[in-house]
A and B are shown apart, each in its own frame.
Chain A
């Protein structure tokens, strides 16, 4: 996993609450058995005017000029500003892959759906929770000023505005630690393989039916 220390970049404001993972990456693209290449189909139904299907040349499709990511001033954005309950709905990690593949490194919102939040950190995407009033203010500033950027520092746990305002944020220590170092969760867990086996032994005595099912 890509480590995350500090990112400074253009902010794109997506002013909708309850953005669900079906909207982030529509289901026809979930048929892919790869984990890359989802970027062109991020927010597909909002971003393009026609109906998209896998296998199309997406660079030739008509863009919806009203959709925020299509506006010239937000090209190259690496920080997505969003509203409450971002990433609700399906557990599809493809939603995170699509955001990352598009180029986003940070999503800022007042709240995230649990599974999305968890998936984000597994893929080096920082899902950053800020209070609603702060998010409101960032929306206003982003929209008011072309080329608006933020600097997100995970080590210092701060977001810095172009005016030099420093906004602190909270994050679980374990998520921060794993992200800062780009750690592989499975390798970490397998360091405790003996404890997992000991648990299984104990559990087998207490609840043997969980370990001796009749054959399927």
Chain B
């Protein structure tokens, strides 16, 4: 029978069917960070259990790490304790960890693929909702809570029902200046933040195939923002080329064998999906969120919408609350929104191509005087090193950006990088929830090129005019 990619990934990992609608699913790769793991390790210890398969685990601190003064201990004692707890747990249980000052340290979702720990056809979990990122490589990857982190540590398996399958086609080609971020924001704008709930989403179509693997990571990263725990894309030559020579990728004869297996990771013609959605790539513009949910998004040429025009009362109330929080008036042109800060980073957009795209826009220009802080936080130490080898750090610094050390940083503001109440930020991250980047902070989600253009202009501007 014709199988979807989801069927192939799921079925090949079923250890047993439990007979109650759930499956025992084998997990190939487990990524661990400092925020969602301490309680799991503690329970493991209390129950006298130990990790089932240590070699399947890679740990890296990312959420709490400071982005400067990394030669000193972490100043915030609570953050420090959490990072040290991870170090201690990894030492006790014999788990590989890239510590804070390891050159390979970075955001867990950037590091996994970069090292070749994530591979096509694998199941990947992490106590982090953006684990969907790894689906870009034809993997089944999804976020789990701390109880499940413990479950995977102890058994290398998860108990889970099978999701429904959705396919989202992005047909045709995007215009110049339109990026992976704009594609995924347009998708979320279309299906809503709960549109993918209960589904695993396959992204398909010419515009998706045209994306680089890094762009595909951006799309899959935000599958969770559409409500889907997992998003993924079929394997093609670009996927396979990406892994060649990665430290943990197979070599020699095993590589040949792996490539043969990976080449079957696509949905068979005629495979049945529970839902299919189609978007026309040519209609997608650079996108900007205006509210406090990623579905509150419009093209840069648009205006802040009017809740009075929304027929659904619950939605209209949500829009009013968002406008109040964001300090915006309906009808304001997006390009008239002025900014205080600009953040380029996060597991959505902190890879080398993102930094190149942003640098291209700022090269030879200056950050506008009304911008209090513009910062670039590379996704990993290796991305940082690569960017420096290409001279991108100098482009940013000369324009007035701060060039920082890798981590989650102002994506969620658990470290010292955050917005003050009322501050408005153009951010390449994935969530514009209330308080996400600091209490009272106002987040607008955009692509790296759009964030760079906004830094130079001091307000949102259509990046296509910069090119």
Contacts and interface: CB of A to CB of B under 8 A. Distances in A.
B227 A18 contact: no
Interface residues of A, number: 65
Interface stretch (B250-258, B267-275, B352-360, B394-402): B250-258
Interface string A178-216: 000000011011101101100110010011111011101
A18 B435 contact: no
A35 B147 CA distance: 11
A119 B128 CA distance: 13
A71 interface: no
A141 interface: no
Interface in B244-262: 247-248, 250-251, 254-255, 257-258, 261
B101 interface: no
Interface in A152-192: 172-174, 177, 185-186, 188-190, 192
A33 B251 contact: no
A113 B194 contact: yes
Given A22-B431, A88-B194, A209 B39 contact: no
A214 B197 contact: no
B412 A31 contact: no
B197 A91 contact: no
Interface string B436-450: 100100000000000
A3 B112 CA distance: 37
Interface residues of B, number: 83
B82 interface: yes
Given A111-B194, A122-B145, A173 B20 contact: yes
Given A31-B64, A91-B143, A192 B24 contact: yes
Given A113-B227, A115-B145, A91 B128 contact: yes
Nearest to A33: B38
A93 interface: yes
A45 B193 CA distance: 22
Contacts of A114: 197-198, 227-229
Interface in A66-121: 83-85, 88-94, 96, 111-115, 118-119
A90 B129 contact: yes
Given A51-B439, A186-B155, A210 B197 contact: no
B160 to A, nearest CB: 8
B205 to A, nearest CB: 24
A187 to B, nearest CB: 9
Contacts of A196: 15, 24, 26, 52, 155-157
A151 to B, nearest CB: 26
B67 interface: no
Contacts of B49: 186
B176 to A, nearest CB: 33
A7 interface: no
A177 B20 contact: yes
Most buried by A among B63, B144, B194, B293: B194
B198 A203 contact: no
Interface stretch (B115-123, B282-290, B366-374): B115-123
Contacts of A212: 250, 254
A35 B146 contact: yes
A130 interface: no
Contact of B314 (A17, A34, A203): A17
Given A18-B193, A113-B197, A91 B15 contact: no
Interface string B316-333: 011001000000000000
A152 B338 CA distance: 50
B82 A33 contact: yes
A171 to B, nearest CB: 11
B157 A189 contact: yes
B384 to A, nearest CB: 20
Contact of B143 (A33, A54, A115, A173): A115
A123 interface: yes
A122 B26 contact: no
A123 B248 CA distance: 36
Nearest to A211: B55
Contacts of B433: 20, 22-23, 89
B145 A195 contact: no
Contacts of B227: 85, 88, 113-114
Nearest to A189: B155
Contacts of A200: 26, 156
Given A17-B318, A45-B434, A112-B197, 17 more contacts: A20-B431, A23-B433, A33-B39, A55-B78, A88-B193, A91-B36, A92-B35, A94-B146, A115-B143, A118-B148, A186-B47, A186-B151, A189-B154, A190-B155, A195-B16, A196-B156, A208-B254
Please provide the 3 A-B residue pairs with the shortest distance between their CB atoms, ordered closest to farther: A209-B250, A93-B145, A119-B145
18 contacts: A16-B321, A27-B412, A31-B82, A35-B39, A51-B439, A85-B197, A85-B227, A88-B193, A90-B128, A90-B431, A92-B35, A173-B21, A174-B22, A188-B159, A190-B154, A192-B15, A203-B26, A216-B58
